[in-house]
Amino acid sequence: MRRNTIPNRGELKRKAVNFKTGLGLKLDDELRQKMEAVVQASTAQFLEETVERLKGLREALGRAASDPASRREVLEHIREEAFQIKGMGGVFGYPLLTEFAKSLHDFLKELDDLDELQQEIVSIHVDTLYVVVSHKITGTGGPLEAQLRASLKAAVDKAKPAGAKPAGA
């Protein structure tokens, strides 16, 4: 027997909150303050977790440098962590984290191993992410961040394997 998995539209409308006029909530000051406190606490937790991720990336890079056999595993770990940071940065008002983590993730996408130059590029990315987190740089940054962006792009392009497209192409 086949079940209808899509609920009846009328039933959905009845369950919706104020489906004719929308969700008309008026926030009083107390509720607004509580909501802002939750957002601030979540952002603080995100930053703490990101610092822990970055510490883990530094440890992984150290392992890759001392144990070449671990490089593929380290590469996958770093790629996954960069993907996670990339996805969450913008949510918490840190678009530079997203941008720099995306740069790292994109750089690693085409790699099967990490040579010394590539490890250095990863390390620069991790340091850049640390700067954003430790200085709590929200927004897109200013001239210094633009210069950092350009320098990262140049370093990534230089370290890409032969035949790979330049960053941003």
The rounded distance, in Å, linking the Cα atoms of 13 and 37 is 33
What confidence category does residue 33 fall into, taking pLDDT thresholds of 50, 70 and 90? confident
Q: CA nearest 105: which of 115, 97, 95?
A: 97
Integer angstrom CA distances of residue 122 from 7, 74, 144: 48, 11, 20
Residue 48: per-residue pLDDT: 94
**Domain contains 166:** no
Q: What is the mean pLDDT of residues 147-157?
A: 87
| pLDDT of 38 above 80 | yes
CATH of the domain at 75: 1.20.120
The rounded distance, in Å, linking the Cα atoms of 149 and 51 is 20
Question: Considering its fold, how many domains does the chain have in total?
Answer: 1
Which secondary structure element, helix H or strand E, spans residue 14, and what is its range?
helix 9-15
**Domain contains 2:** no
Per the prediction, the chain carries an average pLDDT of 84
The rounded distance, in Å, linking the Cα atoms of 84 and 87 is 5
